[in-house]
Structure 1
Amino acid sequence: MGILVSLFVLSFLIFFHELGHFLAARFFGVKVERFSIGFGPILAKKDYAGTEWAISAIPLGGYVKMKGQDDLDPTKRDPDPDSYNSKKPWQRIVILFAGPFANFFLAFLLYFAIAIMGSNTLAPVIGEVVKDSPAYEAGLKQKDKIVEINGKKVKTWEDLSKIISTSNGDLVLKVEREKKILTLKVTPRFLETKNIFGEKVKKKMIGIAPAAEFINISYTPLEALKVAYDKTIAASKMIIVGIEKMIEGVVPLKEVGGVISIMDITAKASQMGIIALFSLTALISVNLGVLNLLPIPALDGGHIVFNIYEWITRKVPSEEIIYRLTLLGWAVLIMLMGLGIYNDINRLMGASNG
């Protein structure tokens, strides 16, 4: 069952991406010759509203084939008014960007749904106070619940961490201890810790760790809009930084995962409940959006770069250069896909041997 869910999720994410391209293309009057759910040999098809709607054999996403666009041969051009490459560069950029945007928008909708439904998160309850830390010196104790900082209500441990890390000067804390509210003053200090990439960094902290206490938190629709926006932006930033760290060598190439890892993680998330599945699906959707905007010629981002060049210079890039760069882009993508599958197989073999 988990494998079927992960197949559906992955297919839906890519389908939604292609739907973005389709809607933008039709908005600008570009003929979409085929919209396929899946890849490979066509199993069934039907013509409707000038587009061939198809179901293909390999259920991993889908594709749209626009008139005048050929990803395998980007030098092909069609002068007809309903052709992709007859449109102005800025219109083509919108069509190209619409796919990744659809992924960001889907992630936003999923985060919004999670915020409305409510999810378990760490409560702002102290599980440990580091000796000689600002919190220790201020008199904070284990099991204290922080309810307010500098007049701002604190609902979750995430709220608490964010306020402390972005603070300036002293913090006035309202703390619930044994059903009494105490007011304590603490001054954060830059302390050494490790980020999610294992790097040592300096961060404003007061020296506390959370208790293993969870609360279910939900938001009003208006609050949920802001939560969804913040989470979509945070996920995008995290993926961009992750790519930077991989290029810098901080994240080893062996950590690169492929479709097998994605399906395995999604299958496990589906067994944990709808909230976990929505959270992971949103993160993968943002991942697809960011990766497709990378300036690699075979991806949307690479095509956007070509169109920006044409828009600024009012010259069509050299067909020879486009062709060679696109071949290079495909080579890079195939190598990355191969690396992901190689790492996936190694992890599976390691798990079976263990």
Structure 2
Amino acid sequence: MGTITFLLVLSFLVFFHELGHFLAARYFGIKVEVFSIGFGKKLFSKQWMGTSWQFALIPLGGYVKMKGQDDTKPGLVEAGNDSYNNKKPWQRIIILFAGPFANFVLAAILYFAIAMIGANALSPTIGQVVPNSPAAKAGLKVNDEILRINNTDVKQWNEVGKYIVQSKGALQFYIKRDGVVITRIINPHISDSENIFKEKIKKRMIGIAPAPKVIKLNLSPIEALVFAYDRTVESSKMIFKGVQKLIQGVIPSSEVGGVITIGKVISEASQSSIIALLSITALISVNLGVLNLLPIPALDGGHIMFNLYEIIARRKPSDKVFMYLTVVGWVILGSLMLLGIYNDISRLLK
């Protein structure tokens, strides 16, 4: 059942990504010859609206084949205004960007659905107070519920940390204790900490930790839209930073996961709850959007770079350069895939 869920989720994400390319291409009048879910041997196809819609043998990706677009023949020019290569560079950039953008839109839709169903979050209830910390000196205690900081209402624990880190000067906490609301003035201090990448950092803290108490957020449609936007942006930033840290060597290559890890995570999420499945699907969708925008030849981001070069230099890169960089891009992608599979197998053996 887990494998079926994995294939369905992956096919859904690929479909949405390729649908972005397809709709943008059709908007500019380009003929889309093939819309494929999967690579390799064709298993099923149907001709509709001038396009061959198909499922292929290897369900680990997909593509749309537009008239006049062929990476193996970069100099290909097909006659007619419905050809990809006859379009202006800025139009091609929009078509290329439309795929990753569709993934971001899909993630936002999924996060909105999560918010409307009832997203879970940690309660803003204190579970631990560090001795001699600013919180302890101000008299905060375990089981105190934080209602407001200065003039900002608090609904979940995540908001507490964000507000403290981004604030300046002393803070006024409104606390609910034994049914009574009290106030405390706390002056955060700069302390040593770690970020999600386990790097040593310094940040404003008051010395408290959350209680293991989960609440369900009851959000209005407008609040759900804000929630969806914030989650999509935060996820995108996290993945961009993750790629940056991987390149810098902060994240070891052993942390790279492949299709086995993705399948395992999706399978476990599907067995947990619909919220968990929607959450991991949204995160993978953002991941696909970000990774496809990387300036690696053979990815959307690489092709966008080629078109930006054409706009700046007012000429296309030579066929030889295009082919060389595309081959390099495929080697990089192939190496990353093999690394992910190797790490997956190593984890399974352990």
| Structure 1 and Structure 2 fold alike (TM over 0.5) | yes
Using the alignment, how far apart are the partners of 1:188 and 1:297 within structure 2?
Answer: 47
Task: Show the counterpart of 1:288.
Answer: 288
Other structure's SS at 1:174 match:
strand
SS at match of 2:141: coil
Report the Cα distance in structure 1 between the residues aligned to 2:75 and 2:262, rounded to whole angstroms. 34
Q: Distance in 2 between matches of 1:186 and 1:246?
A: 38
Whichever residue aligns with residue 237 of structure 1, its letter is K
Which amino acid in structure 2 is aligned with residue 149 of structure 1? Answer: I
Q: What is the CA distance between 1:313 and its match in structure 2?
A: 2.1
Deviation track 1:283-317 (CA, whole Å, cap 9, x = no partner) reads: 10001000000000110000000101111221111
User: Which residue of the partner structure matches residue 164 of structure 2?
Assistant: 164
Q: How much has 1:263 moved relative to structure 2?
A: 0.6
Partner of 1:238: 238
- Equivalent position of 1:315 in the other structure: 315
Deviations 1:143-168 (A, max 9, x none): 10000110211000011111111111
1:1-354 equivalences under 5 Å are: 1-350=1-350
Distance 1:76 1:83 in 2: 10
- Contact kept, 8 Å, 1:170 with 1:186, in 2: the verdict is yes
My pick for the range that moved more, 104-113 or 35-44, is 35-44
Q: Deviations over 1:221-271 (max 9, x none)?
A: 111111111111100100011111111111000100011110111100111
Alpha-carbon distance change, 254 to 72 in structure 1, aligned in 2, over 3 angstroms: farther
Partners of 1:190 and 1:75 in 2: CA distance: 58
Equivalents in 1 of 2:215, 2:8: separation in Å? 31
SS in 2 for 1:348: helix
| 1:55, distance to aligned residue in structure 2 (A) | 2.2
Q: TM-score, normalised by structure 2?
A: 0.98
Is the CA contact 1:128–1:209 (under 8 Å) kept in the aligned structure 2? yes
The answer to whether the 8 Å contact 1:75/1:323 transfers is: no
Gaps of 5+ in 2: none
Unaligned ranges ≥5, structure 1: none
Runs of 4+ deviating beyond 6 Å = none
SS at match of 1:141: coil
Partners of 2:279 and 2:219 in 1: CA distance: 16
Q: Secondary structure at the match of 2:65?
A: strand
SS of structure 2 residue aligned to 1:185: strand
In structure 1, C-alpha distance between the alignment counterparts of 2:44 and 2:113, rounded to whole Å: 34
**CA distance in structure 1 between the partners assigned to 2:240 and 2:54 by the alignment:** 34
Q: Within 2, Cα distance between the matches of 1:247 and 1:59?
A: 28
Structure 1 length as normaliser, TM-score?
Answer: 0.97
